[in-house]
Structure 1
């Protein structure tokens, strides 16, 4: 995984899911090990190959930046199952049949957060700190903007993709600039968000989280977080491996299947009308009456 197991973001969401599955299956039936802080893709590739060489049944490359490495390594270990995300590409078109893919339809929770943000901003300026314009990060940002636009048409949404998943200093600078430009509500995604949250806290600007519950970063300003529950995709992948299917399928987290959950901060006094609008958006996405159209997904 690209960062630490307690990053309150992308890596922790996967670690928490693995722990939950181990608790459900029992330690004797499910063993897992992790490699943290794999910011350098070449280091991650070495770890992927090492795990496959050691005979692990399933090797997960948790990061879209690892795709090229996995495409090269997986054919060398035809008896090993691999999985990676966030993506829907199993490399089946390249003749590789032992790779699963998974992703989060994060635009759904992004839309819900955007609805709330539009209702809570007083300055009508909202800031979005993105990492790299790809994967679930781009989906979240696009969904968030759609939620804002659907709720209030005179809000300016400032977006800055800082070019890094991990650089908290760059995230802090981006957030600081947005606040100086009038943003009183911010959001962001990836492991670098603590830098942005700190600046939001200093300015008493509201914050919306994603990937994991970020309330603990700043309980006084975090309104809500979209939380990933990767057990929803890990369970069918593990079941497939146990049944002898080593890849070829893609899975997604959604609000409807419970893989995405909006966690409201219980200590933040959210106005009743904002909570009602958010809940209505959640139900609308679940029942199909609201479509957040930012891309296709294969399940």
Structure 2
């Protein structure tokens, strides 16, 4: 593939398929086998956000029999557009840009390829053939905020870039904490990228030095640096694994895990496109989608969330799923 310099493209597991037998009535008549491409802002070998995108691609391959390929990119908007162009020009019918940062490039390219669907993770957009797939992280982060305010005295939030998905998550955290204590102190910092683990580590250590006893990193590939800082502080600081299990990084600090089975969500969206029923609005997964979003507590750590708080969290989660609690101010 003629992808941009510095990108790494990989085609995986091509599987022959009789498309006529896969598609139901009213389905899109693909000229060839379904082909899906993936753009990730980093390496799929890393646990966390990029691996989730890869798992989604593999889910489409395994469940829908698609020919799939992915490309690993640095944070360079010009390379995003080039990769979208390359996939679309080679007949890929579905391309997933795994992150909000791919949205502008998708809009640029989509105008020239109206028959290609551009799916954008962590986006609220729906413009023609550009469809946002947004997991509402404000909901599980709201639960983390409740836990932080009930168990601690001060919290710190370490973000990557100050973009809507990260802001949404942190707004949810703050709303949850302040539902318990309106004056609960929360510090917030952004490292300006998603790759600098050292910066995330230093930001976490700085917050702990200023009295934070709960620190939550959320910085894609750099997230692990935040957990490293929490662990190396030697303090009794709580946190939650997000997207993947980071217990090995901070074994004395992880209280639980927020994980989204985004892969299955993507599979169902692609399936609907193949069946001729593409989403008519932005797709938003939340606590109501039990197969997609899970929030669990850890039972094997040196510190754990008390049973009465767990019971309260279960009640709040049910209220959020039912639409009775707003996890964001707007």
- The alignment's TM-score, normalised by the length of structure 1, stands at 0.87
User: Deviation of residue 108 (structure 1)?
Assistant: 0.3
The aligned counterpart of 1:13 is 52
Q: Which has the higher contact order (CA 8 A, sep 6+)?
A: 1
Cα gap change, 1:285 to 1:173, in 2 (>3 Å): same
Provide the rounded CA distance (Å) in 2 between the counterparts of 1:236 and 1:75.
25
The correspondence for 2:265, drawn from 233, 237, 250, is 233
SS at match of 1:102: strand
| Residue of structure 2 equivalent to 1:94 | none
Q: Summarize deviations over 1:68-97 as a string: whole Å, max 9, x none.
A: 211111111122111112112122xxxxx2
Residue 112 of structure 1 corresponds to 143
Corresponding position of 2:6: none
- Of 164, 169, 185, 2:193 maps to 164
CA RMSD of aligned residues (A): 2.0
2:126 is aligned with 1:90:
yes
Consecutive unaligned residues in structure 2, runs of 5 or more: 1-39
For residues 44 and 120 of structure 1, the distance between their equivalents in structure 2, rounded to whole angstroms, comes to: 42
Q: In structure 2, how many angstroms separate the alpha carbons of the residues matched to 1:291 and 1:63? A: 24
Residue deviations 1:185-224 (CA, integer Å, cap 9, x gap) = 1002122111111110012322223333333432321112
Aligned to 2:204: 175
- Alpha-carbon distance change, 289 to 184 in structure 1, aligned in 2, over 3 angstroms: same
Larger relative helix fraction: 1
Mapped partners of 1:129, 1:232: distance in 2: 28
Deviation at 1:247, TM superposition (A): 6.6
Task: Tell me the residue number matched to 1:195.
Answer: 225
Stretches of structure 1 lacking an aligned partner (at least 5 in a row): 92-96
**Displacement of 1:21:** 4.1
Matches for 1:10-89 after TM superposition, within 5 Å: 10-25=49-64, 29-89=65-125
Q: Distance in 2 between matches of 1:74 and 1:248?
A: 16
Contact between 1:240 and 1:246, CA under 8 Å: does it hold in 2?
yes
TM-score, normalised via structure 2 length: 0.80
Query: What's the CA shift string for 1:34-71, capped at 9, x where partnerless?
Result: 11243222222221111111211201111111222111
Change (3 A) 1:152 1:217: same
Contact 1:81–1:246 (8 Å) recurs in 2 = no
> Which structure has the larger Rg?
2
Q: Report if aligned partners of 1:229, 1:253 keep a CA contact under 8 Å in 2.
A: no
